[in-house]
Structure 1
Amino acid sequence: MNKPIDARLLQTAEAFADYLKNAAARIDVAAEAKAHGDGARVGISRPHESAQLHVAGEATYIDDIPELAGTLHCALGLSPVANGRLTGMNLDAIRAIPGVVAVLSASDIPGTNDCGSIIHDDPILCQGDIRHLGQPVFAVIAETRDIARRAAAKAKSVLTIDAEPPVLTPRQAHEKGQYVLPPMHLERTTNEGGAKAAIAKAPHRLKGSFDVGGQEQFYLEGQISYAIPKEAGAMHVYCSTQHPSEMQHMVAHALHLHANEVHVECRRMGGGFGGKESQSGLFACVAAIAANHVKRPVKLRLDRDDDFMITGRRHCFWYEYEVGYDDEGHILGAEITMVSRAGHSADLSGPVMTRAMCHFDNAYWLPDVSMHGYSGKTNTQSNTAFRGFGGPQGAIAIENIMDTVARKLGRDPLDVRRTNFYGKTERNVTPYEQVVSDNIIDKLVTQLEDSSDYRARRAAVEAFNATSPVLKRGIALAPLKFGISFNVKHFNQAGALVHVYTDGSILVNHGGTEMGQGLNTKVAQVVAHELGVSFESVRATATDTTKVANTSATAASTGADLNGKAAQDAARQIRERLAACAAARHGGEASAVRFANDKVEVNGRTIDFATLVGEAYIDRVQLWSDGFYATPGLSWDREKMKGNPFYYFAYGAAVSEVVIDTLTGEWKLLRADILHDAGRSLNPAVDIGQVEGAFIQGMGWLTTEELVWHPQSGKLTTHAPSTYKIPTANDCPPVFNVQLFEGDNFQDSIHRSKAVGEPPLLLPFSVFYAIRDAVSAVANHKNDPPLRAPATSEAILDAITAVQSAA
């Protein structure tokens, strides 16, 4: 899968589609299947089930659904100020615009004016208090999208607002004691006096602060909902969402309906990354409210600027910390305060902060630790889920500490990190009291250290820097340990439906959503494997609240774990019924019937799977089944912040080498070596793609993707691709070695695989600390660089200046 693609094959969409069509031959599915056992359908690299549709432009997204006759379009009128009080609206001026059908405000909402996912503190449309610049105040419904947008753009001229100065940064909110949730505290004490005493007694102490910016999800498909009124007041909503069940509940509450009167459907998303977990709710609600009001279908599709101005993103964090350590670099005590920019409402800031605090330890044993988490309330968009969900923000803080401790001691940062690794049978309990019983971090890091030639390259970097006054190189190895499961126990459940038709074809529906990550591909592989049929015999359908009810969000990297197990359960029930039917018709024991390669072996005979299905139908055997799965062994005390919140841990490590220009602050990633733990991978090709994508996305967060709000007006000035810079293909390193670590999940996950969506986003810590290493080389590593994230060229120059000044 790591062989280069012939560029000639990519010159046209049709050529690329042909390339993907023949992907199975390139991947050599037959060889992989043989290696995994005759008839295996999991553990095999397969192309994404919609890959050909994607590149041929045939994959249906919400905006591709043919519009029904009479469809109207909606746009949102946004607040032009960040903080204040709405005292008047002249909406009649908007209603008078030709082509405008209706203009709705908060008073037109039939039910509850709220789209808060946990705490009900997030209005659909402004109802008095202005909370951030870009907050939706009214909705315009018009004959065309262009008319609706032009009318909504007149918001500034029709709104009367008493403005006040905004609170924009987490430090400002913390100084004011202004939070969206009560503070959180997590402590572990092994000695009398706890963390403070351990720090005071330590041979060395370190005190500092650190800033990490937020990150825009930048999904390719923006937020969109298409609402269609149905008979008896019901509503059908096509929504680009990671959480159809939550959209169903929000729309039901907004329209004052029961859940069974709201139908939410999503075939696929053009990316989500957490931004469509809870925040798709506002747009689903507005579209449904508008459709209910005018009794016609209504589509609400945001453009990129409005998407940036309305929706939240990854929380930025500000940290203050103090640690004590010994001559070897062992962390003896640590105290840290984490303050996030939550935005104007709670949204998912509570669970994000919980996960951040549960990942501060990353791969390290911290004997005495005290953590304090604050979700700062600011006059900015309400921040939300983003790939990693607080885990990266928690783990990067301890990595910054490890890097600084190493520099203070004059040691290789890898040696200090290894000194603090969790142990196998001792030093293996997290601060929240979960035992790290599946620890492979030292073995994995050692393998990567050898395969990447880390030690020799470290020496080569030092030799280069000794003779290069302008260009400086840096190298770093960063490990990760990431907990897999939702922080909230009851979210860890899933359902699925599997139908076998009389021609032997199979349909599977589950509660997870496909956003490009290959979930439907993996679930189809699981069903094909369980029933012993070809992958091509199985088709996955749109996520639909009328098929599988009460689903959890496709988030927290649990999509394949939960939905794969549920689909396996459903398929297994059908297989057992078919086996009993085969034994009854052809003799032998049902337990001896074997399904593989579209054939069924029974009592010495081999028949086609489709033939047995036809016989089962004649015998009135149920050929469909529901399946269910709930993750075992989870517990969490929210007040004490103790328990077993994770079913297992995923591990990984990356080595990155960079070069920086000390005169301009420009930098380039020269090489990246990654070894990631996916357990017994369900689909190595898909998993490697997820690792590569997460690495580049995380690199963008830590280097180029800078969010800037105007300090007086509170306007997000980086609200478009012209000012907000995500990585491009040119930012991928010329040498990019990605491998999956060989080993099964010790827990009974789906085919002993491990989740791979979120954990690898921590791998590009190695890029940030390689840049930090290069900056440190400017003064021969004598001074610790005060490098902030993202490490933009400006940030790199600031750090270089500080290092040179200190020298």
Structure 2
Amino acid sequence: MCLEGGCGACVVNVSGIHPVTKDTKTWSVNSCLFPVFACHGLDIKTVEALGNKRDGYHPIQERLAHMNGSQCGYCSPGMVMTMYSLLESKQGAVSMEEVENELGGNICRCTGYRPILDAFKSLASVSEKELPDIEELKICPKTNTACSAKCPAAASLIEPECPVHIVANDDREWHKVFAVEEIFSIFSKIGTKPYMLVGGNTAHGVYRRSEALKVFIDISSVEELRNFFLRTGELIVGANVTLTEFIEILNRTANNRPNFRYCREMARHVRQIANPAVRNAGTIAGNLCIKNQYPEFPSDLHVLLEAAGAELSVAESLIKSQEKTAQEFAQMDLSKKLLRVISLPLINSFNTTFRSYRVAPRAQNARAYVNAAFLLQLERDKATVKMARLCFGGINPQFTRASRTEKLLVGKQLFNNSTIQQAISTLTSELQPDWIMPDAPAEYRKGVAISFFYRFLLRVASDNNVATVNVRFRSGATMLQRPLSSGQQNYDTNKKNWPVTKYVPKLEGLAQASGEAKYSNDFPPFPGELYAAFVVATQPNATIGKIDPTEALKLTGTVAFYSAKDIPGTNNFMSDGMNFFFPDVEEIFCSGRVLFHGQPVGVIVAEQLEQAVRAAKLVKIIYERTSDEPIRPTIKAVLMHQTKDRIVDQPISSRAGPQAKVQMAQKLQGTLEMGGQYHYTLEPQTCVCVPVEDGMDIYEATQWVDLSQVAIAAALKVPENSLNFTVRRVGGGFGAKLTRASQIACACALAAHLSRRPVRFVMTIEANMSSIGKRYSCISNYQVEVDAKGTILKLTNNFMQDYGSNLNENVVDDAKVVFGLSYNSSSWKVEGKAVLTDSPSNTWMRAPGSTEGISMVETIMEHIAWVTGVDPMQVRMANMRAGSKLLTLMPRFRKDIEFDRRRKAVDDFNAKNRWRKRGIAMIPMQYPLVHVGALHAQVSVYAKDGTVSISHGGIEVGQGINTKAAQVAAFTLGIPLEKIAIKPTTSMTSPNAVMTGASMTSEVVCFAIIKACEILNARVKPVRDELKTAPWEKITQTCYTRDIDLSVLYQYKKADLKPYSIWGLSCAEIEVDVLTGSVQLTRVDILEDTGESMSPGIDVGQIEGAFVMGIGYWLTESLVYDMSTGVLLTNRTWTYKPPGAQDIPVDFRIRLIQTGDNPFGVLRSKATGEPAMTMSIVVLFALRYALRSAQKDAGRPDEWIALGSASTPDQIFLKACNTYDQYKLN
């Protein structure tokens, strides 16, 4: 998906002979980064090698599927191979902690990680006793008997130590070498050709490799560079040792040698670099060479080695070398030089402390905002500084050592406030951060660097048992430590209705976990197939004068370029027949004025994907600009430039009714800012179009077949019945593939239509993020008057939402409806406006409008509680509509989760800790569920064996729609679940189908299937009555002989189902590191009304996944634009950070309310896809609770703390209001 080692979807297992030990080793790598030529001599296993339907599944695959750890399934093969590699590398003996740490490089956008972690932790050798033993891993998946070790190896692991030299058609060379002599021999032969030493090739995930490179030298098997040994006073480590090996070497040395104990701290830090698959391939030298080539890179190793006083041996030839410090190495010319070894010195542990720190956007797999490493030695009096090294990264490209502060400390009595304040003053003058977007602000990076230094001093004081340290300050000596996570899921089941209400693993789980599940891009190449890539505009507000593809078409493999002028029909990827939803035309290709940076102007097709991507960049666009109109990619930019014509009134608003007059009303006002959010589907926007005899076969990753079908037909001027759509599944949707997929499909179909060849279009992550819309950002301004009890007397809320470049997909109205739904809003006035910005047209994303609506109103409730001093839940109950179910649920939930006891414990903790704070909050939720459109379901029974096939108009995007469909069919027909099979969605069996979205589709599909099955039951009833106890197969055979139609097509209509409300409550408890702004969700409780859940395992997964997506929205995911160009700067996994496996709640508890009292639901159930997303703002309220305590301790007045999304560590740190004069020991 990302092609940079940032998502984990492509992880594979590698086995090979270690060049030093000659033992067979196994490890995981990102296949997107690992060069094919580097596989020489290695055994590569993909998920298909583990198990499959024909030969049997591997226990890892079975466990993941059984525990519902796979939803859309796109991440599942990578997850399985990560776990497999861990178990293989440890001979099956792994701890639960190792399992949780190992998933640092694997992103899952669907599940919320909890079921994946539970599945894999159940395979740990120290997991719970009631779980199956680890010996299961030795069962052969083919025979289901004990492994006999007789299967032939997939490839030989005996690597012949002879050099390899390959010359490609374009004169690029690949060398594999086994000795240092061979490296220098190649250096002497290649002259001035640009070259690259290849260790793990992981640097490509940070900085894209130059296309000018001509020579690649694989040095991974050079024994000298992979060795390590101890000699007098030094630990010598080969420079090409991988980071994973380096961690093991450091720990082993620290355990055995007292004067190398500091290596344990270094190992702990190295474990935080990148992710396991990257650390398995990436090397010490590779990391340091990135710092050399890109001085702005905040290399953790550079800082660690500089602080430890390491020496780096750099060879210029076989007989000449130089010894350099890490800082000197970073400034060297490395042309035809080789970093051979790293020498780590012996450091007398007596009176010496070495510590290192880093802070990043999320817990794992994120580069540091700032990192630091400190070494300090005291005299024998354990108070006077003898020596100090203070090293920092992430400040500016030239700065590493705080030398003036180091000198100031030497000879000083350390443990007094005067020395500390002098040192901080000097350090403050030395730290001069730059600020290059999208990095965190300079103010934050400087502040957290100084906090690291203060934290280190607290640690030194602790190590030396300094009794004068204020007990409230002591927790500041350590970073947040995450314990092992856990989860609880509580729900009921009704055996009378099984398989409905039963926990049923997702039907496709095993296929997804084994790699057998096929997505749109998994079809083998069709004969003559071409690859497509967008050509994009880069100058918003300019007009396209001319497009010149001449240079692009000269590139080898490039076939054609198509633009707006080549479209036979309508240049619009939104349906003309759906004007209620989509009033604006959205061009497939820009034909005039450029609306945003990254807007597609055409498509290049080529023989290979790389050729198409490269050629797209060579197309020249000549712009005409008539004014210097500023670029406004955000709402704030529109407001700053006072561009009032960009702010559009929406037709519906709520007006205040009569308002009571109260003389002593309290007034408050505030602002809530909510940023955008990228859908981050693991499957990119994808479409494959194949011209066929009756038109075109289209395999699209879409949530809305009908929209794409209508748009393509209009664009190509062909009948709709000539377009044959097939969608088996989609690798994550969340709204990304509702309307936006239509643009990719139109471009792909146009290219196939004009070239008369199959075309495959798979967008890169940069293209996805830059050219495709996201969640609507929103700014809310509110004014409220309340009485002493918090009852609202008057409320005005004016909010604006960023629609991007057009007004399609209205969400303002959704936000308005939800805003006042739970409360007595008769005295409220709510107005929403749409803002047009110079950015891609934004689009629906999980709980669109409702997320903003609930967030706005609940923020106001919190603000009222702060102003009045009334308990926040009492404020809500005082304003709740009479008869609301929440009036009953709130007190019960509060008691069940022991909210009051926990809040007191939080307050006690905060009173005892200055630099660590906790917060807790609780909110209610009422979510409206409505049904729209029409949709078909076809149920067909095969007479001979009684099996049943179902095809429906919904799209399986990971929400478990097919599983629920099979459950209700089996229940209604009264047959085993195993008899049911779900077939792909096609435009033939499900024409004119409404979108899959808005949480409703599983319900309406199940409704249509039930109706179809009821019709079948009516047809079959006479035969059933006659044959009485005969098996189902006998009944269907008899029906066949009597010409009874065993296939039914039923169309659901929106009038078939009535709207209803979904109720919920959530509570979050959080811990904040005040010195860095990092947070940890210690516990989350969610209570959600699911009616009588049709499939509780599926519903729990939807709730957990939605809530964790919300955690990302509020805490980690930030879209940053260059305001002068409109470029999205956070457009890849390196810069955009959804939550990882260690960002979820440590204790995650879900309880379903299954009252069975939903007469409007299908089989008394309720939807679950989106509501929990709206409750995730509770994490922000818990954060505010913690920050109030921090600000109080900082001496700040008790003022309302405005928080929004994304509240990343830099925002949190600055809200804590730390001042350097507070950094004291007592």
Using the size of structure 1 for normalisation, the TM-score is 0.87
Aligned equivalent of 1:466: 911
* Shift in alpha-carbon separation, 1:80–1:172, aligned structure 2, 3 A: closer
Aligned equivalent of 1:782: 1198
* Shift in alpha-carbon separation, 1:361–1:610, aligned structure 2, 3 A: same
2:960 pairs with one of 511, 518, 521: 518
CA distance in 1, matches of 2:691, 2:648: 37
2:805 pairs with one of 341, 344, 351: 344
Aligned equivalent of 1:357: 816
Select between 339-348 and 291-300 the one with higher mean Cα deviation.
Answer: 339-348
CA distance in 2, matches of 1:387, 1:803: 40
Task: Give 1:273-284 correspondences, 5 Å limit.
Answer: 273-284=734-745
Partner of 1:769: helix, strand, or coil?
A: helix
Structure 2: which amino acid aligns with 1:773? Y
Q: How much does 1:798 deviate?
A: 3.0
Aligned equivalent of 2:665: 203
CA distance in 2, matches of 1:346, 1:127: 19
Aligned equivalent of 2:1078: 666
* Shift in alpha-carbon separation, 1:412–1:804, aligned structure 2, 3 A: farther
- Does the Cα contact within 8 Å between 2:787 and 2:793 map onto a contact in 1? yes
Structure 1: which amino acid aligns with 2:63? Y
CA distance in 2, matches of 1:337, 1:519: 38
Structure 1: which amino acid aligns with 2:605? I
Partner of 1:473: helix, strand, or coil?
A: strand
Structure 2: which amino acid aligns with 1:153? K
CA distance in 1, matches of 2:888, 2:1154: 11
Q: Which has the higher contact order (CA 8 A, sep 6+)?
A: 1
Structure 2: which amino acid aligns with 1:318? I
Q: How much does 1:716 deviate?
A: 0.4
Identity over aligned pairs, percent: 29
CA distance in 1, matches of 2:1158, 2:62: 39
* Shift in alpha-carbon separation, 1:188–1:21, aligned structure 2, 3 A: closer
Which of structure 1's runs of 4+ aligned residues deviate more than 4 A? 10-13, 20-27, 32-35, 179-182, 197-202, 802-805
Q: How much does 1:158 deviate?
A: 4.2
CA distance in 2, matches of 1:409, 1:403: 10
Aligned equivalent of 2:782: 321
* Shift in alpha-carbon separation, 1:321–1:375, aligned structure 2, 3 A: same
Partner of 1:273: helix, strand, or coil?
A: coil
- Does the Cα contact within 8 Å between 1:318 and 1:339 map onto a contact in 2? yes
Q: How much does 1:705 deviate?
A: 0.3
Structure 2: which amino acid aligns with 1:311? I
Q: Residues 143-196 of structure 1: CA distance to partner in whole angstroms, max 9, x if unpaired? A: 1111111100224x44435374212222443642234864234224431xxxxx
CA distance in 2, matches of 1:729, 1:774: 23
* Shift in alpha-carbon separation, 1:70–1:419, aligned structure 2, 3 A: same
Aligned equivalent of 2:332: none
1:652 pairs with one of 1034, 1059, 1064: 1064
1:178 pairs with one of 628, 645, 655: 645
Task: Give 1:351-390 correspondences, 5 Å limit.
Answer: 352-390=811-849
- Does the Cα contact within 8 Å between 2:814 and 2:853 map onto a contact in 1? yes
CA distance in 2, matches of 1:626, 1:545: 14
CA distance in 1, matches of 2:1124, 2:664: 44
Aligned equivalent of 1:738: 1150
Q: How much does 1:68 deviate?
A: 1.5
| Alignment partner of 1:306 is 2:350 | no
Q: How much does 1:707 deviate?
A: 0.6
Partner of 2:825: helix, strand, or coil?
A: coil
Aligned equivalent of 1:221: 683
CA distance in 2, matches of 1:513, 1:202: 56
- Does the Cα contact within 8 Å between 1:180 and 1:344 map onto a contact in 2? no
* Shift in alpha-carbon separation, 1:161–1:534, aligned structure 2, 3 A: farther
Q: Residues 451-507 of structure 1: CA distance to partner in whole angstroms, max 9, x if unpaired? A: 211011111111111121111111000111111125xxxx34322100000110000
Q: Residues 364-404 of structure 1: CA distance to partner in whole angstroms, max 9, x if unpaired? A: 22221111111110000110010001100111111111111
Q: How much does 1:747 deviate?
A: 2.9
Aligned equivalent of 1:440: 885
* Shift in alpha-carbon separation, 1:255–1:676, aligned structure 2, 3 A: same
Partner of 1:116: helix, strand, or coil?
A: coil
Select between 234-243 and 174-183 the one with higher mean Cα deviation.
Answer: 174-183
CA distance in 2, matches of 1:303, 1:714: 19
CA distance in 1, matches of 2:965, 2:1157: 18
Structure 2: which amino acid aligns with 1:15? P
Task: Give 1:53-202 correspondences, 5 Å limit.
Answer: 53-116=511-574, 118-155=582-619, 157-162=620-625, 164-173=629-638, 175-179=642-646, 182-191=649-658
- Does the Cα contact within 8 Å between 2:655 and 2:830 map onto a contact in 1? no
- Does the Cα contact within 8 Å between 2:724 and 2:988 map onto a contact in 1? yes
Q: How much does 1:443 deviate?
A: 2.5
1:294 pairs with one of 751, 755, 762: 755
Structure 1 gaps, min length 5: 1-9, 192-196, 425-438, 587-601, 635-645
Q: How much does 1:83 deviate?
A: 2.6
Partner of 1:58: helix, strand, or coil?
A: coil
Structure 2: which amino acid aligns with 1:129? R
CA distance in 2, matches of 1:620, 1:34: 42
* Shift in alpha-carbon separation, 1:299–1:276, aligned structure 2, 3 A: same
2:62 pairs with one of 5, 18, 21: 18
Partner of 2:735: helix, strand, or coil?
A: coil
* Shift in alpha-carbon separation, 1:224–1:758, aligned structure 2, 3 A: same
| Alignment partner of 1:500 is 2:905 | no
Aligned equivalent of 2:402: none
CA distance in 1, matches of 2:64, 2:510: 6
Partner of 2:829: helix, strand, or coil?
A: strand
- Does the Cα contact within 8 Å between 1:511 and 1:551 map onto a contact in 2? yes
Q: Residues 71-100 of structure 1: CA distance to partner in whole angstroms, max 9, x if unpaired? A: 111111111223311111112222222211
Q: How much does 1:136 deviate?
A: 0.5
CA distance in 2, matches of 1:479, 1:255: 49
Task: Give 1:214-293 correspondences, 5 Å limit.
Answer: 214-232=676-694, 234-293=695-754
Aligned equivalent of 1:767: 1179
* Shift in alpha-carbon separation, 1:134–1:201, aligned structure 2, 3 A: farther
Structure 2 gaps, min length 5: 1-27, 29-46, 52-57, 69-118, 120-129, 132-489, 576-581, 1222-1226
Aligned equivalent of 1:725: 1137
Task: Give 1:414-563 correspondences, 5 Å limit.
Answer: 414-424=873-883, 439-486=884-931, 491-502=932-943, 503-563=945-1005
Aligned equivalent of 2:1049: 626
Partner of 1:557: helix, strand, or coil?
A: coil
Q: How much does 1:55 deviate?
A: 1.3
CA distance in 1, matches of 2:952, 2:909: 54
Q: Residues 35-77 of structure 1: CA distance to partner in whole angstroms, max 9, x if unpaired? A: 6244622111100111111111111001111222111111111
Aligned equivalent of 1:6: none
Q: How much does 1:804 deviate?
A: 13
Q: Residues 578-605 of structure 1: CA distance to partner in whole angstroms, max 9, x if unpaired? A: 112333x44xxxxxxxxxxxxxxx2xxx
Q: Residues 203-251 of structure 1: CA distance to partner in whole angstroms, max 9, x if unpaired? A: 111122221111100000000000111225x222110010011111111
Select between 251-260 and 159-168 the one with higher mean Cα deviation.
Answer: 159-168
- Does the Cα contact within 8 Å between 2:539 and 2:594 map onto a contact in 1? yes
Count of paired positions: 735
Partner of 2:814: helix, strand, or coil?
A: helix
CA RMSD of aligned residues (A): 2.5
Structure 1: which amino acid aligns with 2:754? H
* Shift in alpha-carbon separation, 1:86–1:200, aligned structure 2, 3 A: farther
Aligned equivalent of 2:466: none
Q: How much does 1:802 deviate?
A: 9.9
Task: Give 1:563-602 correspondences, 5 Å limit.
Answer: 563-583=1005-1025, 585-586=1026-1027, 602=1028
Partner of 2:890: helix, strand, or coil?
A: helix
Aligned equivalent of 2:1213: 797
2:856 pairs with one of 397, 400, 411: 397
